[in-house]
Amino acid sequence: MKRDFGPDEIQFLFSRSSGPGGQNVNKVNTRVTLLFDLSKTERFTQTEKAKIRRSLKRYLDKNGCVHIHCQEYRTQSANRKAALERLLALLEKALRPRKVRRKTRIPRGAVEKRLRNKKRRSEIKQQRTEPPAGQ
């Protein structure tokens, strides 16, 4: 997937991080919030956008923007790079075709073994019961 996003597609917001940074953590805005506007992008078809919306709905806001937060690193540039890489990985995963599940059958031997075991348990339990009174 190409890395070049237009200025109207991606926006970065910066805030104070709760992660590593020492004394810097209280002074420098190293936490990065990446906003990717899915509705404004031209790089995906409508069906691909629908797939992305379905797959990334926990990252979407009501305006259709994907929010990704990153505060792993001490520098703003490293967090910015990590957020962009995370976005690319999420988009790639969302657009990857799903494997089709093929129905499988239970082997006849397994069914027969289960029925034999049930029959044996039933017989064991039948032997435990007392015959009714009067017989």
* In contact, 36 and 7? CB cutoff 8 Å: no
Within 13 Å and on the Cβ side, how many CA atoms surround 114? Answer: 6
* In contact, 118 and 125? CB cutoff 8 Å: no
* Per-domain boundaries in the chain: 10-95
Please tell me the distance from the alpha carbon of residue 118 to that of residue 43, in angstroms, as a whole number.
Answer: 59
**19-72 confidence digits (pLDDT tens):** 666 666 666 777 888 888 887 777 888 888 888 888 888 888 888 788 888 888
What is the dotted CATH code of the domain comprising 10-95? 3.30.160.20
**69-127 confidence digits (pLDDT tens):** 888 888 878 888 998 899 889 888 888 888 899 999 999 999 999 999 999 999 999 98
For residue 123, give the 3-state DSSP assignment: helix
Q: Average pLDDT of 2-24?
A: 68
126: which 2 tokens? 């039948």
What's CA 3's distance to the chain center, in Å? 22
- Label residue 99 left, alpha or beta by phi (over 0 means left) and psi (-120 to 50 means alpha): beta
